[in-house]
């Protein structure tokens, strides 16, 4: 089981772990190792991520520019073996998608 984590910062962009980045591209975290070159992801991976975003927008009946990032990640995390957690600046954890089998 993997835990995709989004760490919120008081000022600035959130930080995501490899599992969370994998969700955005539709691949495992292990698949991402060593792929980023010069701070950029390969075009094929970026296209895959855009395709996922477009599918999500279509399912939600919204424009791709209106996507809520947490909603998108929660949607992607609802596959077997992935939990999604948000860590607030004060360290408080909020589980957005539980590990399969936890919800009763």
Per residue, the 3-state secondary structure of 36-75, as one string, reads: CECCECCHHHHHHHHHHHHHHHHHHCCCHHHCCHHHHHHH
pLDDT averaged over every residue in the chain:
87
Distance of CA 24 to the CA centre of its chain: 5
Question: Is residue 102 in some structural domain?
Answer: no
Give the domain extent around 86: 2-97
pLDDT for the residue 41 = 86
Handedness of CA 85, 82, 16, 58 (dihedral sign): negative
Question: Is residue 46 in some structural domain?
Answer: yes
Whole-structure pTM value: 0.80
Buried b (16+ CB within 10 A) or exposed e, 54-68: eebbeeeeeeeeebe
- Tally the domains of the chain: 1
pLDDT in tens, 4-48: 999 999 887 889 999 999 999 998 888 888 887 777 888 999 999
pLDDT for the residue 81 = 72
């Amino acid at each position: 089981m993997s835990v995709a984590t989004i760490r919120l910062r008081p000022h600035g962009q959130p930080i995501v772990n490899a599992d969370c980045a994998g969700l955005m591209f539709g691949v495992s975290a292990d698949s991402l190792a060593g792929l980023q070159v010069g701070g950029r992801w390969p075009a094929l991976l970026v296209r895959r991520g855009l395709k996922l975003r477009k599918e999500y927008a279509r399912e939600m009946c919204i424009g791709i520019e209106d996507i809520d990032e947490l909603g998108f990640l929660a949607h992607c995390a609802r596959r077997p073996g992935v939990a999604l957690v948000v860590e607030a600046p004060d360290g408080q954890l909020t589980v957005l998608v539980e590990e399969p089998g936890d919800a009763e």
